[in-house]
Amino acid sequence: MHPLRRRRLAFLIAVLTALGLATGLILVALEENLQHFYSPTDVESGKAPSDRRFRLGGVVAEGSLARAPEGLGVRFAVTDRFRTIEVHYQGILPDLFREGQSVIAVGRLEGERFRADQVLAKHDENYVPKEVAEAIARARQLKEAEDATP
Amino acid sequence: MKHWLASFHRLASPPIFFRLAGRIMPWSLALAILSGGIGLVWGLVYAPADYLQGESVRILYIHVPAAWMSLAIWAFMAFAAIAALVWRTKVAETLAMAAAPIGACFTAITLLTGSLWGRPTWGTYWVWDARLTSELILLFLYLGVIGLYRTIEDPRRAARAASVLILVGLVNLPIIRYSVEWWSTLHQPASIRLSGSSIHPQMLWPLLVMALATKFYFLWAVLARARMMLAENESNKQWVRDLWREGRL
């Protein structure tokens, strides 16, 4: 390679390495601020702000969903399997919202409870056709019925 | 090795590149239309609905290939930019600049379709999480490259200045790619990894066909744009005049 080109290439590689390192350090420094939501464990350990809005993320605990007899009020528990926080919400829930589904609730803490003004459903990385999902559910039911009968 | 290197060097000659690109273009366009047609009909009509997302899963067949291209085109531009800055070849400069508007379009499509998918699935069009924000920054970087190239009058100096911006923007690629793993985001992590895929094969195949279609489309589009840009910038050269006289331009 021509010495001039070699020098240009070496210079470019040095600049790119420095740039990459600088970005890496900035990202490590910003770690906390780049998190989109806090888990219930974060909230219990006081990492989440108590005086302003933040996002609470986790799974809707099985059997925790309760709707108000009138109106759009709902109550459910968000868990990360270690800690659980009760969430109160008034409004329309996204289609994907169900027990066992990951959600992100936006709102603020009121004592021990979390009052949400927005609830978003988090989708996971699994894509399964409806028929396949139904077949899996049927097979599971069959297996449970077999296990139940001696 | 010598022979291979020699042919690579010849490619840096604008008239040879012009002719070779002209020969590749019809093939890549034909393959893009063929695979794009198959992929779209397969994904939008025949592929099954998802058990949770229902029919809105079909946006995946546009969104994911476009998102892959938005990253792949920047990587392509970075290779061309290094060649442009180190070897100062016109073909490399032109290829890097020709790819930018195509990449910007794919990035815009990614953001738009993702937003349309997010509304029924997540319950919102937009959140400022790390994945969505870094992809938006990628769109601004593309627009920055296009704008910088257009601002400087001499096309060769403009291409070199924009090439520096391309290399600076390169740091954004790993951030977009790994944002869903490094930080908690609303966007889900990658479904397709080296270790396998968590997308059912009935949905995976049309997705891969669409990914192929976007690659062929990009090849056609970048060659077509680079050819015209080369001919325009070299319009006072003999080879362009010859082509013009022969009616092949």
Contact call for residues B137 and B172 (beta carbons, < 8 A)? yes
Q: What is the pLDDT of residues B38-86, one digit of tens each?
A: 999 999 999 998 888 888 899 999 999 999 999 999 999 999 999 999 9
Residue B139 structure tokens = 């769109």
Contact call for residues B108 and B160 (beta carbons, < 8 A)? no
On whether both A29 and A44 belong to a single domain, the answer is no
On whether both A75 and A49 belong to a single domain, the answer is yes
Chains A & B: contacts with CB separation below 8 Å: 116
Q: What is the CATH number of the domain that holds A57?
A: 2.40.50.140
**Chain B residues closer than 8 Å to A28 by CB:** none
Give the residue on A whose Cα is nearest the Cα of B166: A16
On whether both A91 and A28 belong to a single domain, the answer is no
User: Could B123 and A93 be called an inter-chain contact, meaning their C-beta atoms sit closer than 8 Å?
Assistant: yes
Q: What is the pLDDT of residues B159-180, one digit of tens each?
A: 999 999 999 999 999 999 999 9
Number of separate domains in chain A: 2
* C-alpha to C-alpha distance for A54 and B127, rounded to whole angstroms: 13
Nearest to B122 by CA among A88, A123, A147: A123
For chain B, give every domain's residue range.
Answer: 25-191+199-245
Strand pairing category for A66-67 and B192-193? unpaired
ipTM for the whole complex: 0.79
pLDDT-derived band at A44 (thresholds 50, 70, 90) equals confident
Residue A54 parent element (H or E): strand A54-60
On whether both A59 and A83 belong to a single domain, the answer is yes
A3 is a domain residue: yes
* C-alpha to C-alpha distance for B8 and A14, rounded to whole angstroms: 26
Domain that holds residue A4: 1-34
Quote the minimal CA–CA distance from B128 to chain A in Å. Answer: 8
Nearest to A66 by CA among A96, A86, A39, A82: A86
Give the residue ranges of DSSP H helices in chain A. 3-34, 40-44, 130-148
pTM (2 decimals)? 0.89
